[in-house]
Amino acid sequence: MATMTLINAINDGLRAEMEQDENVIVFGEDVGVNGGVFRATADLHQNFGENRSFDTPLAESAIIGTAIGLANHGFRPVPEIQFAGFIYECMDQISTQAARIRMRSGGRFTAPITVRVPFGGGVKTPEMHSDSLEALFLHSPGVKVVIPSNPYDAKGLLIAAIRDDDPVIFYEPMKLYRSIKGEVPEEAYTVEIGKANIVREGSDVTVLAYGNMVHTAEKAADLVEKERGVKAEVIDLRTISPFDLETIITSVKKTHRAVVVHEAAKTGGVGAELSARINEEAILSLEAPVVRVTGFDTPYPLTSIEDEYLPTPERIAAGIYKTLDF
Amino acid sequence: MPNVMELKEKTEMFQILNENGKVIKGQKVPDLTDEELKDLYRWMLRIRTFDGRAIKLNRQGRLGFYAPMAGQEASQIASMIALKKSDMLYPSYRDVGAAMYHGLPMENVFLNSRGQIHGMKTPDDVNAYPPQIIIAAQVLHCAGSGWAFRLKKQDDVAICFFGDGATSEGDFHEGLNFAAVNDANSIFFCQNNQYAISVPIHKQMKSETIAQKAIGYGIAGIRVDGNDALAVYQATKEAAERARKGEGPTLIEAVTYRVGPHTMAGDDPGRYRTKDEEETWTSKRDPLKRLRNYLDSKGLWSDEEEEKVQTEVLDEINETIKKVEKAPKGTVAELMDGLYKETPPMVTKQKDEYLAWKEGK
């Protein structure tokens, strides 16, 4: 075991997979010699050479499109899109090409690609860096979406994503890169894709979150316990698509209330899907409508007001009280 | 005043045969054996015959989506004849001729046209991707594939086909640039048939030729008469040789003409092309007539052989269409099963619910 930041855990996960499988290749803008704008790929170029970790020209569609072509010859590409807001540039290659090729070709061709993408607010980025666009891929059949919230999960989920034979978008919360540390095994291990994690047990309300919002939700759970003795069960989804419906429904049937938290805009977001599924599967267990505490239906704001845009422990607590006082 | 850079435009067109099928003075005939030459013509004739029949089958409602290829036989077949079975092909929806030459069964083409889900399953020993619908998306796959050959130190090449309209897409630019920077073993084969549906090439671009766009990427570019099978063969062969030696990608512009409509979904070329123009291309520049004349001059082909090939193809088409009409259409459950290696529980749940509903109906 070693104490690592989340960014170190990602770097360590990449190193571990590149060591055990020579077909794993890491590339993108500035990921080679420079080691990535966040140092996620630090030393990989130096240790594994130009044919394993390299820079590309600045063009997102081509980064994913060439990854698909490389995958046709046994490679397991781990391309990086520098910031989440730039993912629109490669929407076709992800959602139309990589996502569908197994189905279109009757399994003859596949796209075992892991797209790493830093995302999320709270770090004062320029425009179009912090946007949470995970719902776009929740709505793209054939693509999996994974978002870790701590160093242990980050390494284990990343290795699982790289070993997955289908395309995975691996969203990395920028806010957590260096702000949290945790114990991480030095060897390679996996955390199963599609399995949620109950990070805090409770009996009064289920709070569903992912990424940085898991930590904000935990703070909200502290707050409601202190203020009104409410016991909130906080679930870290870890995988957005396919999400762990079983764990969610089991929890809601126990607590009878649910609050979904995410940074992304409310309408058509992950929260809308989770709320719909809870209604479909557990409506008779609900004591109150499902509440969503989310970003607003605007583009991600400029930085001077991002603290007002992002859900806070207080806003989440207010959402929890709404379900209790219904 | 600063000087405006003057780039020399590559306007000359590489030709070996003239419009009558005679070798142009000073041009060298490619090193094809008599049998290879006959095979080249046989396949062009197969594709021409196939195209005519496919259009009829579409009109009878026995085929669905179909993009006619007549006029582009030399571009599609002579290029593929210059390559090897181990080379990788990324076709667009109009390039089923090239794909069939490379080994894609006619059955797959018909199934795909009819929207039956098994059509795009390329056999394991055929190195061809399913035909691409998103214009220029395959240019990126071809760049990645050629790059993979380079990284694995294989001397195979990747080739993709696309039309003149595709050169306006961002993916065309990105693909050529990536392949250039990485010296990918890629051949970018543009069939310039002068129209993207109804839009003529001069509304597509201001540059004189497509081949000259290669200058911007620092790669080899060639403009070839796309109706001259020998010239297309030679240009592709040289591009493949460069790629196999690690000398990087080539952009080939094959100047050709689509005789039929854009697709069979209601396009009427009469709205945007003149009869004179069509007549010029069909009577004077037909790629089959030109190669046939050359073969005749060498005594390599006969009317009997011509008829035999046509009959064989029509028989094969008849058998194949009957077979696919009886083939299972596929189900939504199969679609779900084929999406992921391991189907996620949420998808399995939808499948179970759907099957239960169907059962109870």
Is A228 near chain B, with CB under 8 Å? no
**Residue in B90, B117, B147 nearest the CB of A66:** B147
- Digit-coded pLDDT (tens) for A138-150: 999 999 999 999 9
pLDDT (0 to 100) of residue B117: 83
With contact defined as beta carbons under 8 Å apart, do B345 and A242 qualify? yes
Element housing A239 (H / E): strand A239-241
Amino acid identity at B108: N
Nearest to B260 by CA among B50, B21, B43: B50
Q: What are phi and psi of A50, to 5 degrees?
A: -65, -25
Domain boundary assignment for chain B: 13-330, 331-361
Contact A62 B177 (CB under 8 A): yes
Contact residues, A window 13-42, toward B, CB-based 8 Å cutoff: 25
Q: How far apart are CA B56 and CA B45, in angstroms?
A: 17
A189 within domain boundaries = no
Cβ of A102 within 8 Å of Cβ of B345? The answer is no
Q: Are residues B121 and A107, on separate chains, in Cβ contact within 8 Å?
A: yes
Percent of chain A with pLDDT over 70: 100
Give the separation between CA B307 and CA A310, rounded to whole angstroms.
74
Kindly list the catalytic residues of B.
258, 262, 272
> Which residues of A fall within a CB distance of 8 Å from B117?
106
Number of residues assigned to chain A? 326
Q: Domain span at residue A99?
A: 2-184
A305 DSSP assignment: G
Question: A183 forms bridges with which residues in the sheet?
Answer: A3
CB-based contact A141 B158, cutoff 8 Å? no
Share of chain B above pLDDT 90, in %: 94
Q: Which residues pair with B187 in a beta bridge?
A: B159, B250
CB count in 10 Å sphere of residue B304: 8
Are A180 and A207 in a shared domain? no
Of A69, A70, A106, nearest to B338 by CB-CB distance is A106
A317, A277: one domain: yes
- Both A30 and A175 in one domain: the answer is yes
Burial A163-192 (b: 16+ CB within 10 A, else e): bbebbbbbbbbbbbbeebebebeeebebbe
Q: Which of B151, B338, B345 sits opposite A103 (nearest CB)?
A: B338
Q: CA–CA separation, B334 vs B345, rounded Å? A: 15
Do A265 and A132 lie in a common domain?
no
Which of A102, A196, A113, A95 has its CA nearest to residue A162?
A113
Contact B141 A108 (CB under 8 A): no
For residue A50, give both structure tokens.
Answer: 């130009």
Work out how many CB contacts closer than 8 A connect A with B.
133
Taking the CA of residue B3 and the nearest CA in chain A, the distance in Å comes to 29
User: Are B340 and A102 in contact (CB < 8 Å)?
Assistant: yes
Partnered with residue A170 across adjacent β-strands are A116, A146
Would the CB atoms of A166 and B340 count as touching at under 8 Å? yes
CATH code for the domain in which residue A221 is found? 3.40.50.920
Catalytic residues of A: 129
Q: What is the pLDDT of residue B4?
A: 74
φ and ψ at B159, to 5 degrees?
-130, 140
Q: What is the percent of chain A where pLDDT is above 90?
A: 100
Q: What is the pLDDT of residues A261-271, one digit of tens each?
A: 999 999 999 99
User: What's the alpha-carbon Rg for chain B, to the nearest Å?
Assistant: 22
**Digit-coded pLDDT (tens) for A228-272:** 999 999 999 999 999 999 999 999 999 999 999 999 999 999 999
Cβ of A106 within 8 Å of Cβ of B175? The answer is: no
Say how many domains are in chain A: 2
Is the Cβ–Cβ distance between A130 and A175 less than 8 Å?
A: no
Residues from chain B that touch A166, judged by Cβ atoms under 8 A, are: 340-341
Spatial CB neighbours of B351, under 8 Å, sequence gap ≥ 6:
B332, B333, B336, B337, B343
Judgement on whether residues A45 and A176 belong to the same structural domain of the protein: yes
Q: Are residues A119 and A85 in the same domain?
A: yes
CATH number at residue A38: 3.40.50.970
Tell me whether A167 touches chain B (CB under 8 Å): no
3-state secondary structure of A173: strand
Q: Does the distance separating the beta carbons of A62 and B117 come in below 8 Å? A: no
DSSP H stretches of helix in chain A: 6-20, 44-48, 60-71, 91, 101-104, 134-138, 151-163, 212-228, 245-255, 270-282, 306-309, 313-324
Instruction: Flag residues of chain B having pLDDT under 50.
Output: none
SS3 B123: coil
Average pLDDT of chain A, as a whole number: 97
- Domain's final residue, options A130, A150, A184: A184
**Given A162, A184, A206, which residue is the final one in a domain?**
A184
Peptide bond preceding A185 in cis form (omega within 30 of 0): no
DSSP designation for A138: H
- Per-residue model confidence (pLDDT) at position B8: 65
Would A36 be classed as within a structural domain?
yes
The encoded tokens of residue A161 equal 């994503």
- B175: chain A residues, CB-CB within 8 Å: 62, 65-66
In a domain, A109, yes or no: yes
pLDDT at residue B361 in the model? 80
Q: How far is B88 from chain A (nearest CA, A)?
A: 10
Mean pLDDT (whole number) for A84-99: 97
Q: What is the fold of B13-330?
A: Rossmann fold (3.40.50)
A311 and A285 in a common domain? yes
In chain B, which residues touch A (CB < 8 A)? Answer: 88, 90, 117-118, 120-124, 129-130, 134, 137, 139-149, 151-152, 158, 170-171, 174-175, 177-178, 181, 335, 338-341, 344-347, 349
Q: At what angle do helices A6-20 and A151-163 cross, to 10 degrees?
A: 30
Q: Residue A164: list chain B partners with CB under 8 A.
A: 341
Q: Quote the DSSP letter at residue B270.
A: G
Q: Quote the CA–CA distance of A159 and A142 in Å, as a whole number.
A: 19
* Same domain, yes or no: A205 and A124: no
Q: Is ipTM beyond 0.90?
A: yes
The A residues from 256 to 315 touching B (CB cutoff 8 Å) are none
Q: Do A65 and B88 touch (CB under 8 A)?
A: no
> In this structure, which amino acid lies at residue B317?
I
**Minimal-distance CA residue of chain B relative to A93:** B137
Of A70, A108, A98, the C-alpha closest to B108 is A108
Name chain A contacts of B170, Cβ cutoff 8 Å: 61
Query: Is the full-model pTM beyond 0.80?
Result: yes
A87-113: average pLDDT: 97
b/e map B140-177, b = 16+ CB within 10 Å = bbbbbbbbbbbbeeebbbbbbbbbbbbbebebbbbbbb
